[in-house]
Structure 1
Amino acid sequence: MAFETSRWSDRRGSGRTPDPGVTGLKALIGLIALMWVSEIADLLLGHHLDAYGIQARESEGLLGIAFAPFLHAGFGHLISNTIPLLMLGAIIAVAGAARLLLVTGLIALVSGLGTWLTSPPGSVTIGASGVVFGYASYLIARGVFSRSLGQLLIGLVVILVWGGALLGGLLPQAGISWQGHLFGAIGGVLTAGLLSDGRRGPPTVASYRG
């Protein structure tokens, strides 16, 4: 009986080990849920929260780097970001919550600083589009840095599905922060390089053999 109790305890203990993919998806859903809660609050407050975005080249505008990804110019804007955030973020989330949050934070920082430095004076930038562009470029560049066949294929799929939208988002358009898109993409590449283990050589096909 003691042996059976020990086995049951072992099973219970092993069952408590969190799956990285599950925790990563929970973190992603939490981030997106916070965006929706923020937009609902902004609506109830008469859109006054939008003023806390990134104010170009104003010292107080630096705080907007942390707030801007959670603020959107209406639910249409939020929905257009939610879909790619879920699709691209879910791939990154497979590596766990810590990796997802680190990637998101670094991208948001680079995108925010670049937007703050280069946007027109007096402008206020809000939205998670920079993070979206960063997610995409991160997934593309990750395979290049890691030389992993699987990650290279993921990057190729991202290019095929999102490539046109990525290029279009870098073109100057009225009411669109191409600066945020550009520096978000740059942030994704930098993050992929920073988090890469630095290995070189041919793509790692051996690990996929049966």
Structure 2
Amino acid sequence: MQEKDKYFKFSTGVVGYPLLFVLVIWIVFWFEIRFGFDFNRFGVYPRTIIGLRGVLFSPFIHADINHLWHNTLPLLILSAALFFFYQKNAWKVLIVGIFLTGILTWFLGRPANHIGASGVIYMLFGFLFFKGIITKHLRLIALSFIVVFIYGSMVMYVFPIDPKISWEGHLSGIVTGALLAFTIKKGIAPPMLYSWQSKDYNPEEDEFLKHFDENGNFIENIQQEDLEAEEGIKIIYEYKEKAMDDDSKESN
């Protein structure tokens, strides 16, 4: 199996799991609206025992339709990228990331109910960006730049610029993502190595380096068999007398 097939193999889970996650949060919101429930109290309430339940419940709870919609597309796209490019660690990143993001929010947050999947989105953003740079794999580096290009403006919301936004949850998410990026090392696509980067590389057997002497001067390195073949080449010329036309014959 080729390297690209081993680490970047498409499966139904790449699309199915993100769609399932998004579907659940929409169903929860529909249930609230349809039956008149308010699940906001199940969010993360910092530094209280009962507030710890929000570590598990808060990603599925949203304040209104705008809050839900703004989280839907980033969650769908970033989680799909996670399951395709890091499929061997996707569930680990998602489960551990949700837990750590919620715990950090519980420690850092203001006394309020912190709800929404934005902390998970920032966690995915942090992981995809930092991990791609660390691995030095061309595909994953490209993914890092794409993520920054599309969602780089989110970084401003890790600062307290809007009292209605849980910047603590955003900050907790991006810190958690970066932490996971630096700690998870197994099951990641290794960077493609050139032959001269291999442990078994022998400079004396390098066909390119054979064209240079010990001083770095270029030399024409022709094998003895080629020299013998060239010396054995014989060029045979055949001459044919050109026929004279009738006018030339008469003038003579």
Per the normalisation by structure 2, the TM-score is 0.67
Mapped contact 1:110–1:186 kept (Cα < 8 A): no
Q: Greater share of helix residues, 1 or 2?
A: 1
In structure 1, the partner of 2:59 is: 69
What is the CA RMSD across the aligned residues, in angstroms? 2.3
Q: 1:75 and 1:177 mapped to 2: Cα distance? A: 17
Q: 1:160 and 1:97 mapped to 2: Cα distance? A: 23
Residues 155-204 of structure 1: per-residue CA shift (max 9 Å, x gap):
011112211222x21121111000100010011111222222399x9x53
What is the number of equivalent residue pairs in this alignment?
185
In structure 2, the partner of 1:102 is: 92
- Shift of the 81–42 alpha-carbon distance from structure 1 to 2, 3 Å rule, reads same
Tell whether 2:160 aligns with 1:169: no
In the alignment, which of 192, 211, 222 is matched to residue 204 of structure 1? 192
Residues 12-50 of structure 1: per-residue CA shift (max 9 Å, x gap):
xxxxxxx75312321111111110111111223434211
Instruction: Quote the sequence identity (%).
Output: 28
Letter matched to residue 60 of structure 1: I
Letter matched to residue 108 of structure 2: T
Mapped contact 1:145–1:196 kept (Cα < 8 A): no
In structure 2, the partner of 1:87 is: 77
Q: 2:10 and 2:48 mapped to 1: Cα distance? A: 39
In structure 1, the partner of 2:232 is: none
Q: 1:135 and 1:185 mapped to 2: Cα distance? A: 8
- Shift of the 206–76 alpha-carbon distance from structure 1 to 2, 3 Å rule, reads farther
Unmatched segments (≥5 aa) in structure 2: 1-8, 196-252
Unmatched segments (≥5 aa) in structure 1: 1-18
In the alignment, which of 168, 171, 180 is matched to residue 182 of structure 1? 171
The SS at the match of 1:174 is coil
Letter matched to residue 50 of structure 2: E
Per the normalisation by structure 1, the TM-score is 0.80
- Shift of the 169–196 alpha-carbon distance from structure 1 to 2, 3 Å rule, reads same
